[in-house]
A and B are shown apart, each in its own frame.
Chain A
Amino acid sequence: MSEVDRIRWHCRRGLLELDIVLARFLDRHLDDLDRIEREAFKSLLMHSDNDLWDMISGRAEPPPEGVEAGVLELLRNV
Chain B
Amino acid sequence: MAIAIRKFDAVIVGAGGAGMRAALQLAEAGFKVAVVSKVFPTRSHTVAAQGGIGAALGNMGEDSWLWHMYDTIKGSDYLGDQDAIEFMCRMAPQVVLELEHFGMPFDRNDNGTVYQRPFGGHSQNFGERPVQRSCCAADRTGHAMLHTLYQRNVRANTHFFVEWMALDLVRDAAGHVLGVTALEMETGEIYLMQARATLFATGGAGRIFAASTNAFINTGDGLGMAARAGIPLEDMEFWQFHPTGVAGAGVLITEGVRGEGGYLLNRNGERFMERYAPTMKDLASRDVVSRAMATEIKEGRGCGPEADHVLLKLDHLGVEVVEKRLPGIREIARKFANVDPVKQPIPVVPTAHYQMGGIPTNYHGEVVAPRSGNPEAVVPGFYAAGECACASVHGANRLGTNSLTDLLVFGKASGERMAQFLRENPEHRDLPSDAADRTLMRLDRLESQRNGESVHQVGADMRRTMQAHCGVFRFPDLLVEGVRKILEIAERAQRTEIKDHSKVFNTARTEALELDNLIEVARATMISAEARKESRGAHDREDFAKRDDENWLKHTLWFKDDDRLEYKPVHLKPLTAATFEPKVRTY
A residues bordering B, Cβ < 8 Å?
Answer: 1-2, 5-6, 8-9, 12-17, 19-21, 23, 48-50, 57-58
B457 sits at the interface (CB 8 A): no
B151 sits at the interface (CB 8 A): no
**Complex A-B: 16 CB contacts under 8 Å:** A2-B504, A5-B504, A8-B507, A9-B507, A9-B510, A12-B43, A12-B216, A14-B47, A14-B48, A15-B215, A16-B48, A16-B216, A16-B249, A17-B332, A17-B335, A48-B47
B362 sits at the interface (CB 8 A): no
B251 touches A13 (CB 8 A): no
A15 touches B47 (CB 8 A): yes
**Chain B, 249-281, CB within 8 A of any chain A CB:** 249-251
6 tightest A-B CB contacts, nearest first? A14-B47, A5-B505, A2-B504, A19-B216, A14-B43, A6-B505
B285 sits at the interface (CB 8 A): no
Identify the closest chain A residue to B252 (Cβ): A16
A57 touches B331 (CB 8 A): yes
Q: Name 10 extra pairs, CB < 8 A, besides A14-B42, A15-B48.
A: A5-B505, A12-B215, A14-B44, A14-B48, A14-B217, A15-B47, A16-B212, A48-B143, A49-B43, A58-B331
B residues bordering A, Cβ < 8 Å?
Answer: 38-39, 42-48, 140, 142-143, 147, 163, 185-186, 212-217, 249-251, 328, 331-332, 335-336, 502, 504-507, 510
Closest CB of chain A to B449's CB: distance in Å?
A: 21
Identify the closest chain A residue to B144 (Cβ): A50
A6 touches B504 (CB 8 A): yes
Provide the bound-state CA to CA distance between A8 and B216, in Å. Answer: 13
Closest CB of chain B to A58's CB: distance in Å?
A: 8
A9 touches B185 (CB 8 A): yes
Provide the bound-state CA to CA distance between A17 and B142, in Å. Answer: 16
Cross-chain contact of B46 among A12, A14, A16, A17 (Cβ < 8 A): A14
Provide the bound-state CA to CA distance between A29 and B45, in Å. Answer: 26
A1: B residues at CB distance < 8 A: 502
A5: B residues at CB distance < 8 A: 502, 504-507
Among A5, A23, A58, max chain B CB count under 10 A is at: A5
B212: A residues at CB distance < 8 A: 16
Provide the bound-state CA to CA distance between A1 and B48, in Å. Answer: 31
B45 touches A14 (CB 8 A): yes
A17 and B217 in contact (CB under 8 A), knowing A6-B504, A12-B39?
Answer: no
Provide the bound-state CA to CA distance between A20 and B43, in Å. Answer: 15
Provide the bound-state CA to CA distance between A14 and B504, in Å. Answer: 22
A16 and B505 in contact (CB under 8 A), knowing A9-B185, A57-B331?
Answer: no
Closest CB of chain A to B206's CB: distance in Å?
A: 9
Provide the bound-state CA to CA distance between A58 and B42, in Å. Answer: 22
B142: A residues at CB distance < 8 A: 14
Identify the closest chain B residue to A1 (Cβ): B502
B335: A residues at CB distance < 8 A: 17, 21
Provide the bound-state CA to CA distance between A8 and B506, in Å. Answer: 9
Among A1, A8, A20, max chain B CB count under 10 A is at: A20
B163 touches A9 (CB 8 A): yes
A19: B residues at CB distance < 8 A: 215-216
A13: B residues at CB distance < 8 A: 39, 43, 47, 215-217
A8: B residues at CB distance < 8 A: 505, 507
Closest CB of chain B to A21's CB: distance in Å?
A: 7
Among B43, B214, B502, max chain A CB count under 10 A is at: B43
A20 and B336 in contact (CB under 8 A), knowing A5-B504, A12-B217?
Answer: yes
A50 and B43 in contact (CB under 8 A), knowing A2-B505, A16-B251, A17-B251?
Answer: no
Provide the bound-state CA to CA distance between A6 and B44, in Å. Answer: 18
A14 touches B215 (CB 8 A): yes
A50: B residues at CB distance < 8 A: 47, 140, 143
B251: A residues at CB distance < 8 A: 16-17, 20
A14 touches B140 (CB 8 A): no
Closest CB of chain A to B204's CB: distance in Å?
A: 12
Provide the bound-state CA to CA distance between A1 and B4, in Å. Answer: 27
A16 touches B215 (CB 8 A): yes
Provide the bound-state CA to CA distance between A50 and B44, in Å. Answer: 12
Identify the closest chain A residue to B506 (Cβ): A5
B143: A residues at CB distance < 8 A: 48-50
Provide the bound-state CA to CA distance between A19 and B38, in Å. Answer: 15
B44: A residues at CB distance < 8 A: 14
Closest CB of chain A to B117's CB: distance in Å?
A: 18
Closest CB of chain B to A54's CB: distance in Å?
A: 10
Closest CB of chain A to B162's CB: distance in Å?
A: 11
Provide the bound-state CA to CA distance between A76 and B143, in Å. Answer: 22
Among B44, B47, B186, B510, max chain A CB count under 10 A is at: B47
Provide the bound-state CA to CA distance between A58 and B216, in Å. Answer: 23
Identify the closest chain A residue to B213 (Cβ): A16
B504: A residues at CB distance < 8 A: 2, 5-6
Identify the closest chain A residue to B43 (Cβ): A14
Provide the bound-state CA to CA distance between A61 and B349, in Å. Answer: 34
Identify the closest chain A residue to B216 (Cβ): A19
B39: A residues at CB distance < 8 A: 12-14
Identify the closest chain B residue to A14 (Cβ): B47
Among B143, B213, B335, max chain A CB count under 10 A is at: B335
Identify the closest chain A residue to B49 (Cβ): A14
Closest CB of chain B to A39's CB: distance in Å?
A: 18
Provide the bound-state CA to CA distance between A48 and B144, in Å. Answer: 11
A23: B residues at CB distance < 8 A: 216
B163: A residues at CB distance < 8 A: 9
A20 touches B249 (CB 8 A): yes
B215: A residues at CB distance < 8 A: 12-16, 19
Provide the bound-state CA to CA distance between A5 and B500, in Å. Answer: 11
Closest CB of chain A to B15's CB: distance in Å?
A: 11
Closest CB of chain B to A2's CB: distance in Å?
A: 4
Closest CB of chain B to A34's CB: distance in Å?
A: 21
Identify the closest chain A residue to B245 (Cβ): A16
Provide the bound-state CA to CA distance between A16 and B50, in Å. Answer: 14
A49: B residues at CB distance < 8 A: 42-43, 47-48, 143
B214: A residues at CB distance < 8 A: 16
